[in-house]
């Protein structure tokens, strides 16, 4: 048989051999979707059905595009384009620009926040870094969802967005941002896509030339397409249908940014003549890992029809997934590093091991622990902790803060407030990542104080320098540290899923939003399915060494931890234990579950400046010892019964 078809199962082969036209592969993780599309491109090229140069294969991240190129090279396909949507659009736009728009060429905008800031400033709106980042993410969501400024309020309400400012303000900033960009001939990433689609939609000659050049389209990870990317894809296709898409609705992890699995699931309806293939055999992972993945996704709520795919493991048996609970995060990181040392000693290559976490700020503890063990590592999709811009800026501020009395963590917190550490966490996205990184510094200060009670700011700065020094120089071969988002599509022999506590996975701001919680669950599914053989899941009950154990393991682990596991027994006792130890808000007395709130001693949404006298009156009233509660008009409590 043809060498290209040999390593494929019958369903994969059906997709590879399908005649040119619409093909859709709906399948779970590790079933060979990426393998199928790369083999299809190679097969069509080898049989002379299409010239490699006429193939345009797109996906969403540079890493995933690189993975496709590597696989195509291995199949000796040369000349097919495998790139991100943005790279494809940018290349096309440069070529067509003189004809469709003319005049001087655009520049790519690389300082979006600054332009959003100028737009906000002109309107007299707040320009703190956090506020601007939230506004920029909201504008990005709107553009990726093809929502104009005018349509924004209705669309945001319909999508039930948790918006960072009144809708009218966002509209005005969005309009201002667009105007400033146009004045300066700047395009952002979404503009590249918008202009590309418009160039083909509005200009028949350009469309004809393009469609003559590219004849066969392939999309990997199609479950994460945004309406804007879909519009570009439709413009590329025109009225043709030579399109192969592959995806897994259970791996949609960018819906917060406008992505949706709908086009994938609706593909067979849109193209009734499409060859539709469902793959179930999982070639990546051992049956033990596959069964854990099936369990994780089994509990997902609101799964659309077409996403209920079960995985059937094909590999030989392997070790059972390991669940481990730790007292604190440093202990967790240390244990992970020791296990990795053992794997390395057993002959597993460092490049076959990954530590995956929810937010990049979690990497610091693991960078440190690996450095202590002398294990090389690389941080994927994010800079090393001490190289991040906000951390470098924070360290400069801390060094120049001079002598400040009163506790170290409070001093650190107040200095960091100047570089963006707000009391309340920003809603999400990169702003949240930066906030988490800054908060990690405060936690390091707490850790230092618990070890050295009289540590001051200079001592803390020295400690940070030592830690930064201890981190390894960049390496290309090493243990991978990556966020779950950055790990999509990749695979390793051993995967450590760390920090599985409520508030981190699911992330705290997803609470109360069912759709957001489900996206968090899919992230765990993506994480588990990255492992070929070993998967370790761990969590720690306290952040800092010796800290209060107020954290709970991730709600997604209930039902997954084996009944005879010590952590399962702890879980069964949890309600009772919690009753005794539940921390409550000093302002509204609500139970505090979120780490940041516990640290503050109040809900993050409760006011920080309520005076003690008022609190005493409040407690009296709550306890039924006062009939009336008089509070100043500005005090708003989070407890619904207490809104003043």
The helix or strand, by DSSP H or E, that contains position 202, with its residue range, turns out to be helix 189-202
CB of 377 to ligand ATP, least distance (A): 22
Closest CA to 310 of 630, 29, 625: 29
* Residue with smaller CB distance to ligand ATP, 224 or 390: 224
Q: What span, in angstroms and rounded, lies between the C-alpha atoms of 141 and 71?
A: 32
Residue reference for tokens 């290309």 = 476
Mark the segment that binds Mg ion (CB under 5 A) among 112-120, 235-243, 383-391, 482-490: 482-490
- 129 assigned to a ligand binding site: no
* Residue with smaller CB distance to ligand ATP, 145 or 529: 529
Query: Do residues 385 and 483 lie in contact, with contact meaning Cβ atoms separated by under 8 Å?
Result: no
Q: What span, in angstroms and rounded, lies between the C-alpha atoms of 506 and 520?
A: 5
The residue nearest Mg ion at its CB is 34
Q: Does 489 bind Mg ion (CB under 5 A)?
A: yes
Q: What span, in angstroms and rounded, lies between the C-alpha atoms of 30 and 184?
A: 46
Mark the segment that binds ligand ATP (CB under 6 A) among 1-9, 257-265, 293-301, 501-509: 1-9
Q: Is 325 helix (H, G, I), strand (E, B) or coil?
A: strand
Mark the segment that binds ligand ATP (CB under 6 A) among 6-14, 108-116, 409-417, 515-523: 6-14
> Which tokens go with 172?
């005005």
Within a 10 A sphere around the Cβ of 563, how many other Cβ atoms?
8
How many residues at the interface with ligand ATP, by CB under 6 A?
Answer: 19
Residue 307 binds what, of Mg ion, ligand ATP, none (CB under 5 to 8 Å, by partner type)?
Answer: none
Q: What span, in angstroms and rounded, lies between the C-alpha atoms of 30 and 532?
A: 9
**Window 250-279: residues binding ligand ATP (CB under 6 A):** 251
Mark the segment that binds Mg ion (CB under 5 A) among 233-241, 263-271, 454-462, 488-496: 488-496
* Residue with smaller CB distance to Mg ion, 64 or 557: 64
Q: Are strands 312-313 and 377-380 parallel, antiparallel or unpaired?
A: unpaired
- How far is C-alpha 94 from the geometric centre of its chain's CA atoms? 30
Each residue 282-321 as x (binds ligand ATP by CB under 6 A) or -, in order, gives -xx-------------------------------------
Q: What span, in angstroms and rounded, lies between the C-alpha atoms of 411 and 475?
A: 35
**Phi, psi for 565 (deg, rounded to 5):** -80, 140
Residue 29 binds what, of ligand ATP, Mg ion, none (CB under 5 to 8 Å, by partner type)?
Answer: ligand ATP
Residue 32 binds what, of Mg ion, ligand ATP, none (CB under 5 to 8 Å, by partner type)?
Answer: ligand ATP
> Which tokens go with 528?
């588990």
**Phi, psi for 336 (deg, rounded to 5):** -60, -45
The residue nearest ligand ATP at its CB is 32
**Window 442-501: residues binding ligand ATP (CB under 6 A):** 489, 491
Q: What span, in angstroms and rounded, lies between the C-alpha atoms of 139 and 141?
A: 5
* Residue with smaller CB distance to ligand ATP, 318 or 503: 318
Q: Does 382 bind ligand ATP (CB under 6 A)?
A: no
Q: Does 22 bind Mg ion (CB under 5 A)?
A: no
- 475 assigned to a ligand binding site: no
13, 27, 30, 34: which one contacts Mg ion (CB under 5 A)?
34
Mark the segment that binds ligand ATP (CB under 6 A) among 24-32, 88-96, 146-154, 182-190: 24-32
Mark the segment that binds ligand ATP (CB under 6 A) among 26-34, 145-153, 404-412, 615-623: 26-34
- 33 assigned to a ligand binding site: yes
Within a 10 A sphere around the Cβ of 623, how many other Cβ atoms?
9
Spatial neighbors of 168 by CB under 8 A, at least 6 apart, are 153
Q: Is 168 helix (H, G, I), strand (E, B) or coil?
A: helix
CB of 381 to ligand ATP, least distance (A): 16
Rg of the chain in Å (alpha carbons): 26
26, 35, 436, 599: which one contacts ligand ATP (CB under 6 A)?
35
Strand partners, 496: 355, 536
CB of 311 to Mg ion, least distance (A): 14
Q: What span, in angstroms and rounded, lies between the C-alpha atoms of 370 and 298?
A: 34
Residue 639 binds what, of ligand ATP, Mg ion, none (CB under 5 to 8 Å, by partner type)?
Answer: none
* Residue with smaller CB distance to Mg ion, 434 or 530: 530
Q: What span, in angstroms and rounded, lies between the C-alpha atoms of 27 and 250?
A: 9
* Residue with smaller CB distance to ligand ATP, 303 or 338: 303
- 34 assigned to a ligand binding site: yes
CB of 264 to ligand ATP, least distance (A): 12
Q: What span, in angstroms and rounded, lies between the C-alpha atoms of 508 and 503?
A: 4
* Residue with smaller CB distance to Mg ion, 24 or 449: 24
Strand partners, 595: none
Query: Do residues 145 and 226 lie in contact, with contact meaning Cβ atoms separated by under 8 Å?
Result: yes
Peptide bond into 506 cis (omega under 30): yes
- 80 assigned to a ligand binding site: no
CB of 599 to ligand ATP, least distance (A): 37
Q: Does 522 bind ligand ATP (CB under 6 A)?
A: no
Residue stretches of the annotated binding site for ATP: 27-34
Site residues (vs Mg ion, CB under 5 A): 33-34, 489
Site residues (vs ligand ATP, CB under 6 A): 7-9, 12, 27, 29-35, 248, 251, 283-284, 489, 491, 529
Residue stretches of the annotated binding site: 27-34
């Amino acid at each position: 048989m043809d060498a290209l078809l040999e390593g494929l199962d019958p369903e994969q082969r059906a997709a590879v051999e399908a005649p040119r036209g619409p093909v859709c592969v709906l399948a779970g993780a590790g079933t060979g979707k990426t393998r199928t599309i790369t083999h299809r491109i190679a097969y069509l090229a080898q049989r002379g059905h299409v010239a490699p140069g006429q193939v345009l294969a797109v996906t969403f991240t540079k890493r995933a595009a690189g993975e496709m190129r590597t696989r195509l090279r291995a199949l000796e396909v040369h000349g097919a384009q495998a790139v991100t949507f943005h790279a494809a659009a940018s290349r096309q736009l440069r070529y067509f620009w003189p004809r469709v728009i003319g005049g001087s060429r655009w520049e790519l905008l690389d300082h979006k926040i600054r332009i959003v800031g100028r737009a906000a400033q002109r309107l007299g709106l707040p320009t703190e870094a956090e506020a601007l980042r939230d506004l920029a993410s909201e504008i990005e969501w709107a553009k990726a969802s093809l929502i104009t400024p005018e349509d924004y309020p209705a669309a945001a309400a319909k999508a039930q967005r948790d918006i960072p400012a009144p809708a009218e303000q966002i509209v005005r900033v969005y309009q201002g941002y667009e105007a400033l960009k146009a004045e300066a001939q700047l395009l952002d990433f979404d503009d590249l896509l918008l202009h590309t689609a418009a160039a083909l939609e509005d200009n028949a000659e350009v469309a004809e030339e393009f469609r003559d050049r590219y004849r066969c389209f392939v999309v990997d990870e199609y479950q994460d397409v945004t309406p804007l990317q879909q519009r570009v894809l439709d413009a590329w296709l025109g009225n043709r249908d030579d399109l192969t898409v592959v995806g897994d609705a259970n791996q949609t992890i960018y819906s917060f940014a406008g992505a949706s699995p709908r086009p994938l699931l609706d593909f067979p309806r849109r193209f009734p003549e499409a060859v539709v293939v469902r793959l179930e055999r999982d070639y990546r992972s051992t049956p033990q890992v596959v069964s854990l993945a099936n369990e994780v996704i089994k509990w997902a709520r609101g799964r659309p029809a077409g996403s209920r795919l079960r995985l059937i493991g094909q590999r030989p048996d392997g070790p059972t997934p390991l669940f481990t609970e730790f007292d604190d995060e440093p202990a967790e990181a240390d244990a992970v590093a020791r296990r990795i040392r053992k794997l390395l000693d057993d002959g597993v290559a460092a490049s076959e091991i990954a530590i995956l976490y929810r937010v990049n700020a979690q990497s610091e503890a693991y960078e440190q622990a690996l450095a202590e063990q002398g294990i090389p590592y690389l941080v994927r999709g994010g800079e090393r902790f001490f190289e991040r811009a906000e951390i470098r800026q924070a360290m400069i501020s801390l060094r120049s803060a001079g002598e400040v009395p009163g506790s170290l963590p409070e001093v650190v917190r107040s200095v960091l407030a100047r570089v963006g550490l707000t009391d309340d966490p920003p809603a999400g996205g990169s702003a949240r990542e930066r906030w988490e990184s800054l908060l990690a510094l405060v936690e390091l200060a707490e850790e230092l104080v618990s070890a050295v009670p009289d540590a001051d700011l200079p001592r803390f700065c020295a400690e940070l320098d030592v830690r930064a020094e201890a981190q390894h120089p960049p390496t290309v071969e090493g243990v991978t540290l990556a966020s779950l988002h950055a790990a999509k599509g990749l695979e390793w022999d051993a995967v450590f899923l760390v920090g599985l506590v409520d508030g981190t996975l699911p992330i705290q701001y997803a609470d109360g939003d069912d759709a957001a919680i489900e996206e968090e669950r899919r992230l765990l599914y993506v994480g588990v399915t990255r492992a070929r053989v070993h998967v370790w899941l761990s969590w720690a009950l306290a952040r800092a060494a010796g800290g209060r154990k107020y954290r709970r393991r991730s709600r997604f682990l209930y039902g997954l931890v084996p009944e005879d596991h010590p952590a399962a027994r702890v879980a069964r006792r949890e309600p009772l234990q919690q009753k005794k130890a539940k921390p409550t808000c000093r302002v509204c007395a609500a139970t505090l579950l979120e780490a940041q709130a516990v640290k503050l001693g109040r809900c993050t949404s409760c006011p920080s400046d309520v005076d003690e006298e008022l609190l005493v009156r409040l407690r009296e009233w709550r306890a039924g010892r006062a009939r009336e509660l008089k509070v100043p008009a500005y005090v708003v409590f989070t407890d619904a019964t207490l809104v003043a």
